[in-house]
Amino acid sequence: MKVIDIKNLTKIYNDSEYKVNALNGIDLSFEEGEFAAVVGPSGSGKTTLLNIVGGLDKPSGGEVIIDHTNIGKLKSSRLIDFRLKNIGFVFQAYNLIPVLTARENVEFIMHLQGKPKAEREKRMKDLMSAVGLSDRIDSRPSKLSGGQQQRVAVARALASKPKFILADEPTANLDSKSTENLLDIMEKLNKEENTTFIFSTHDARVVKKARRVITIEDGKVVSDEIRK
């Protein structure tokens, strides 16, 4: 089942001196359960692509269709609600709320969704177990290593049972062991929950794990490799 359909997507950034064509007519689609990496040199447009697909930025032209919805045409309040219900995010800098425990960070989105307390608690415990941190649910981010914080971020991204997860350079701040652990966990959750993962990355270890590799240069797709 197709979860994302991107049609002739363009993004132009204008300032007083320069016009930058960050995306130049991107056509892509993603199926449920994919584990895909978007790669390319710095400035190629891969982060811009993820930001637009995630509704964090608006396109200059073209469409992003998610669940029969053109997200570029949603008003701000509708878009926030749509993201809350459909999209999970994992960022390079973790973006955990520092004053909340791991438990509270994972439950936060479910709380915003209005999920009952018992449902939030069960989902949180299941996910913290899945990422190997059952014994750290009451720790605040400052008491966790970078790898542990990123695993909490993955659990938080999955908590709302999103249609897909966008991971922007999720291993950039991690050492080799933490990276391998994180990728193994995400691959396992991808298979068990059939959640689509889309990475933007420079990391060869992420690319090696990916079952689809999309290369972008100068805002255009130059190759799209499906692996078995």
- pLDDT tens digits for 81-116? 999 999 999 988 889 999 999 999 999 999 998 999
d(C-alpha 36, C-alpha 227), whole Å: 10
d(C-alpha 228, C-alpha 207), whole Å: 14
Q: What is the pLDDT of residue 16?
A: 66
Task: State what percent of residues in the chain have pLDDT above 90.
Answer: 79
CA–centroid distance for 98 within its chain:
20
The residue among 158, 181, 157 whose CA lies nearest residue 171 is 181
Half-sphere exposure of 193 (CA within 13 A, CB side): 25
pTM attached to this predicted model: 0.91
Are 197 and 167 a contacting pair, CB within 8 Å? Answer: yes
Task: Return the structure tokens found at 53.
Answer: 């697909």
Cα 7 to Cα 10, 23, 36, 178: the distances in Å are 9, 12, 18, 36
The residue among 68, 37, 63, 38 whose CA lies nearest residue 52 is 63
116-137 per-position pLDDT tens digit: 999 999 999 999 999 999 999 9
**Amino acid making up residue 186:** M
Q: Read off φ and ψ for residue 160, nearest 5 degrees.
A: -85, 5
d(C-alpha 107, C-alpha 46), whole Å: 29
Domains and CATH numbers, the chain: 2-226 (3.40.50.300)
State the pLDDT confidence band at 18, using cuts at 50, 70 and 90: confident
Average pLDDT for residues 159-174, to the nearest whole number?
Answer: 91
State the pLDDT confidence band at 173, using cuts at 50, 70 and 90: confident
Q: What is the pLDDT of residue 20?
A: 85
d(C-alpha 66, C-alpha 221), whole Å: 20
